[in-house]
Structure 1
Amino acid sequence: MPPPWPPQYAWQPPYPQPPQQQYFPPQPPYQPAPRQTLGEKLGKEGAGSRVLAWVGGGVTLLGVVLLLVLAVQRGWLGPLPRVLVGAAFGLALTGTGVWLHRKPAGRTGAFALAATGIATLYLDAVAATSLYEYLPVLAGLAIGLAITVGGLLVAVRWESPLLASAVVVGCVVCAPMITGGFSPELVTFLLMVQLATTPVQLRRDWSSLTLAAGIPPLLASVIATVVEGGSWANTAAAAGTSVVGVGLALIVVRRRENDPAALSVLATAVVPTLVAALVLPKVQAVPVAAGAGVVLLAVWAARRFWSGLAGQLAGLAGLLAILQATVTQFDGPARAGVLLGEALLLVVAALGGRNRLALGAALAFATLGGLIAVFFDVTPVLLIVPRPHSAAELAGALAVSVLILAVSVALPWAAARLDVFKGPADDLPVWLLAGVAALYGAGGVVLSGSMLAVPGRPGFLLGHALITVSWTVAALVLLLRGIDLVALRVIGLVLVGAAVLKLVLFDLSALDGLARVGAFLGAGLVLLAAGSRYARRVTSR
Structure 2
Amino acid sequence: MTQPDQALLARINADVAAMSSYLGRVHADLYELNRVVALRHAETSYAPPATAWAPPAAQPPATQPTAAPQPFSPPPGQPVVVPPAPPAPAIAAPVKPRSDNWIGKVLAVAGVAVTLVGVVLLLVLAAQAGILRPEIRVGMGALLAAGLVGVAFRLNSRPGGRVGAIALAATGIAAAYIDIIAVTTIYEWVSGAVGLVLAAVVAGGGLVLARRWNSEHLALLVLVPLLGLGPIVVGGITLLLVGFMIALSAATLPVQVGKDWLAMHGARMAVSTLPVLIALVAVDPASNRIGWLAAACGIAALLALLSALVLLPYSGQPVAVALLSAAGTLPVLAASVAVGRITSAVMAATMAAVLLAMALIGNRLTKDSTAVAAVWSATAAVALLIAITVAFDGDVAGPLLLAVSAVVAVAGRRSAVARWAAVGFGVVGGLHYLVSASPDHLVSATEVPVSSAVSTLIASLLAVASAAAVTWSWVGRKGSDRDVAGVMWACAAIVGMYAITMFTVTAGVLIGGEEAGFFSGHMAATICWIALAALVFRYAVTVPRAKRSLPIAAGLTVVVAAMAKLFLFDLGTLGGIFRVVVFIVVGLALLGMGAGYARMLSQQDEREQLEDHQQTV
- Judge same fold: TM > 0.5, yes or no: yes
Corresponding position of 1:402: 461
Offset, 1:334? 1.4
Offset, 1:418? 4.0
Matched, 1:466 2:524: yes
Structure 1 residues 305 and 183: CA distance shift in structure 2, 3 A: farther
CA distance in structure 1 between the aligned counterparts of 2:537 and 2:529, rounded to whole angstroms: 12
- Return the TM-score normalized by structure 1: 0.81
Matched, 1:329 2:391: yes
Farther-moved stretch of structure 1 (301-310 vs 239-248): 301-310
Offset, 1:529? 0.7
Q: Which of residues 417, 421, 445 is equivalent to 1:386?
A: 445
Structure 1 residues 316 and 76: CA distance shift in structure 2, 3 A: farther
Structure 1 residues 476 and 324: CA distance shift in structure 2, 3 A: same
Corresponding position of 2:577: 514
Q: Which of residues 164, 167, 170 is equivalent to 1:109?
A: 164
Q: Which amino acid letter does the alignment assign opposite residue 269 of structure 1? A: G
Corresponding position of 1:455: 513
CA distance in structure 1 between the aligned counterparts of 2:341 and 2:161, rounded to whole angstroms: 59
Corresponding position of 2:244: 189
Corresponding position of 1:536: 599
Matched, 1:360 2:420: yes
Corresponding position of 2:267: 212
Q: Which of residues 485, 490, 510 is equivalent to 1:427?
A: 485
Farther-moved stretch of structure 1 (190-199 vs 305-314): 190-199
**SS in structure 2 opposite 1:165?**
helix
Identity %: 31
Q: Which amino acid letter does the alignment assign opposite residue 421 of structure 2? A: A
Deviation per CA, 1:343-394: give whole Å up to 9, x if none: 233234314xx333122111101111112211x2111111121234443332
CA distance in structure 2 between the aligned counterparts of 1:294 and 1:401, rounded to whole angstroms: 28
Deviation per CA, 1:418-439: give whole Å up to 9, x if none: 448366x662111100111111
Q: Which amino acid letter does the alignment assign opposite residue 531 of structure 2? A: V
CA distance in structure 1 between the aligned counterparts of 2:142 and 2:465, rounded to whole angstroms: 68
**SS in structure 2 opposite 1:103?**
coil
Q: Which of residues 427, 436, 449 is equivalent to 1:377?
A: 436
Give the conservation status (yes or no) of the 8 Å contact 1:258–1:310. Answer: no
Q: Which of residues 193, 196, 205 is equivalent to 1:150?
A: 205
Structure 1 residues 76 and 358: CA distance shift in structure 2, 3 A: farther
Q: Which of residues 155, 159, 170 is equivalent to 1:100?
A: 155
Offset, 1:403? 1.4
Give the conservation status (yes or no) of the 8 Å contact 2:332–2:344. Answer: no
Q: Which amino acid letter does the alignment assign opposite residue 241 of structure 1? A: A
CA distance in structure 1 between the aligned counterparts of 2:133 and 2:408, rounded to whole angstroms: 62
CA distance in structure 1 between the aligned counterparts of 2:293 and 2:344, rounded to whole angstroms: 13
Structure 1 residues 76 and 484: CA distance shift in structure 2, 3 A: farther
Give the conservation status (yes or no) of the 8 Å contact 1:343–1:365. Answer: yes
Structure with the greater relative contact order (CA < 8 A, sep ≥ 6): 1 or 2?
1
Deviation per CA, 1:304-329: give whole Å up to 9, x if none: 33424222222222222222222222
Corresponding position of 2:330: 271
Corresponding position of 2:278: 223
Q: Which of residues 401, 407, 415 is equivalent to 1:339?
A: 401
Structure 1 residues 429 and 57: CA distance shift in structure 2, 3 A: same
Structural mapping, 1:71-150, within 5 Å: 87-104=142-159, 106-121=161-176, 132=188, 134=190, 137=193, 144-150=199-205
Structure 1 residues 314 and 413: CA distance shift in structure 2, 3 A: same
Q: Which amino acid letter does the alignment assign opposite residue 299 of structure 1? A: M
Offset, 1:471? 1.5
Offset, 1:200? 4.4
CA distance in structure 1 between the aligned counterparts of 2:568 and 2:240, rounded to whole angstroms: 66
Give the conservation status (yes or no) of the 8 Å contact 1:211–1:261. Answer: no
CA distance in structure 1 between the aligned counterparts of 2:130 and 2:361, rounded to whole angstroms: 57
Give the conservation status (yes or no) of the 8 Å contact 2:207–2:252. Answer: yes
Q: Which amino acid letter does the alignment assign opposite residue 363 of structure 1? A: V
CA distance in structure 2 between the aligned counterparts of 1:86 and 1:234, rounded to whole angstroms: 36
Offset, 1:457? 1.0
Deviation per CA, 1:183-236: give whole Å up to 9, x if none: 233333333443344344333323222223322332222122222345333333
Farther-moved stretch of structure 1 (494-503 vs 285-294): 285-294
Farther-moved stretch of structure 1 (58-67 vs 159-168): 58-67
Deviation per CA, 1:15-49: give whole Å up to 9, x if none: xxxxxxxxxxxxxxxxxxxxxxxxxx9xx845444
Corresponding position of 2:381: 319
Corresponding position of 2:295: 236
**SS in structure 2 opposite 1:482?**
helix
- Return the TM-score normalized by structure 2: 0.71
Structure 1 residues 78 and 235: CA distance shift in structure 2, 3 A: farther
Deviation per CA, 1:83-106: give whole Å up to 9, x if none: 766544422221111112233354
Give the conservation status (yes or no) of the 8 Å contact 2:355–2:376. Answer: yes
Q: Which of residues 578, 587, 590 is equivalent to 1:527?
A: 590
Corresponding position of 2:363: 304
CA distance in structure 1 between the aligned counterparts of 2:512 and 2:518, rounded to whole angstroms: 8
Q: Which of residues 344, 353, 356 is equivalent to 1:294?
A: 353
Matched, 1:173 2:228: yes
Cα root mean square deviation, aligned: 3.3
Give the conservation status (yes or no) of the 8 Å contact 1:250–1:266. Answer: no
Give the conservation status (yes or no) of the 8 Å contact 2:408–2:419. Answer: yes
Give the conservation status (yes or no) of the 8 Å contact 1:208–1:261. Answer: no
Corresponding position of 1:26: none
**SS in structure 1 opposite 2:445?**
coil
**SS in structure 1 opposite 2:257?**
helix
Deviation per CA, 1:424-477: give whole Å up to 9, x if none: x66211110011111111112222222222112111111111111121122223
**SS in structure 1 opposite 2:334?**
helix
Aligned residues: 494
Structure 1 residues 479 and 360: CA distance shift in structure 2, 3 A: same
Give the conservation status (yes or no) of the 8 Å contact 2:243–2:296. Answer: yes
Give the conservation status (yes or no) of the 8 Å contact 2:352–2:383. Answer: yes
**SS in structure 1 opposite 2:536?**
helix
CA distance in structure 2 between the aligned counterparts of 1:312 and 1:72, rounded to whole angstroms: 56
CA distance in structure 2 between the aligned counterparts of 1:168 and 1:377, rounded to whole angstroms: 51
Offset, 1:538? 1.7
Give the conservation status (yes or no) of the 8 Å contact 1:211–1:265. Answer: yes
Structure 1 residues 144 and 311: CA distance shift in structure 2, 3 A: farther
Give the conservation status (yes or no) of the 8 Å contact 1:336–1:370. Answer: yes
